[in-house]
Chain A
């Protein structure tokens, strides 16, 4: 599977270290994806990176990725400009259960860059507003300057039957919003357990805390909670072996899993 060259249409600076790249999909490539899936992005001579698709599934002809520059490869990816080319393989992996969530309330819990793979779900729910019940978005970031998609977020919070809350771990004097970890937002949320599907993405520790919160304090069964796992990935096809997590390959069995499947494994140290 060779990467297919894609041209960068736009690079948008989201925060001091996070950028959103919009790629033009060549006609023969199609560009279809399901929310939650990821691509392998190839930077010439540098390497390949698994990056979740964070765009609107209702907008064809483009692929959108939000990348946080934390290492050599991500650093070189965000240095690219409109008109530059990247190689794309994919999309790969499992998707958020947007079909199973039809007719139900959707709870989105995102931490940090974890909002990126969930943005596609939010777009999908808002594009098909009548098909879903109440949409609750809980988003935690490190500090006010790390908040992603500020414009989107404001528009989501104004949508009908949508409850969008943000918090940051560390505030400053100019920040007028909430301060506290993302689990503290659950004080302001009422869930109807029998008709809620939860989708979580963020650091593993954060997701473990959130799972405990919604399973125990909000009586949501583990089968209705879905989360994404992160492990080292090189091939995205189950051949390189790096992303194994117990019996699972995160790249092809995941990255989206039900908490029911992950729960027995999440407690095993260094698995």
Chain B
């Protein structure tokens, strides 16, 4: 990709966003974007600008999410709903296998339906990071998951830069936002200043530049880029939640037996909400079904959660019987062992697990509690003390 194409940008008006949707649809993409449904902003198929959450935003806090009116016409004036894009790339439910038994023979049927070509409209910077994390887990390791790979390969990604932050956001701690820097085809910055309502579009790929070229965009100037940077700075300034990531891996590995795990377990309902809303959680279970005549069988894969007892079941019983051990597994996997496994943190700082926890458990607070009173100092620190 040439830097010229990456740097290509332009300004469009409100109706052009609708044109962008129909242009992508005409070219064979299925456009998925934010829309209001059941009291939340979710990611569903959008066919026109009317499907977008125009004028809506949300209130978020630990254990709390409410939609509310903004008082303007912003299309992207919210932060994050409960869903993430993994709903499409790593479907909650997918058939892995279809088999038939004919005259005693076992026939494995080909799974042929290719997935739709998705265009994601409104991907936040933290969500781009989450997609990159899942890329690493599901296609970047020794084996590639063909289901994810097929959906990911033909993706058109339209990022939206955040002009504001929710109280649950902490992308700045995880180094993932608030501004999208890479991994998109197009990035949108929505500019709302007095009467002005425009969208700065920046191409991040050849494919993005080509789509941008087909819209009636007017030339963007350095002042527009400056506005976009200012907005990102403003959003960043609203972020108050924080995780200190320095040495976090070693800290958690040194504190498997910290009393805070018991404390968290006393509040945690082991419901698994955090794993469902997390944009990087990837665990699945499988279920086998067959018809009554025993001729046709299917194997389905469904999202699973490390909070269930059955998750760690081996013959004789479950390995993680206590809520303490399951909460600890989730948190240490996300923030520590993920780094050993995939070279990155599993957390992108989106804060969904905080918002959607029914009892408002906040992982940033849990980490802070352990950091403030470690039962054992991380190994590295012990060594340093030993030398001095």
Contacts and interface: CB of A to CB of B under 8 A. Distances in A.
Direct contact of A and B (CB under 8 A): yes
A240 B106 contact: no
A158 B363 CA distance: 61
17 contacts: A2-B108, A42-B99, A231-B314, A234-B284, A234-B286, A237-B145, A239-B138, A240-B285, A240-B304, A242-B311, A247-B337, A247-B340, A249-B341, A252-B143, A269-B325, A270-B324, A271-B319
A271 B106 CA distance: 39
Give chain A's interface residue range (CB within 8 Å of chain B): 35 or more
Contacts of B105: 5, 85
B294 interface: yes
A2 B301 CA distance: 13
A86 B257 CA distance: 44
Given A44-B99, A71-B315, A3 B145 contact: no
Nearest to A246: B337
A230 B105 CA distance: 32
Interface in B301-322: 304, 306, 311-315, 319-322
Interface string B274-309: 000000001111101110001001010000101000
Given A45-B288, A247-B337, A84 B142 contact: no
A59 interface: no
B230 interface: no
Interface residues of B, number: 48
B97 A3 contact: yes
Interface in B331-373: 333, 337, 340-341
Given A5-B108, A86-B106, A232-B313, A240 B283 contact: yes
Nearest to B294: A45
Nearest to B99: A44
Interface of A: 1-5, 42, 44-48, 70-71, 83-87, 230-232, 234-235, 237-242, 244, 246-247, 249, 252, 268-271
A11 to B, nearest CB: 15
B4 interface: no
Nearest to B109: A2
B108 A4 contact: yes
B104 interface: yes
Interface string B81-110: 000000000000000010101001111101
A241 B304 contact: yes
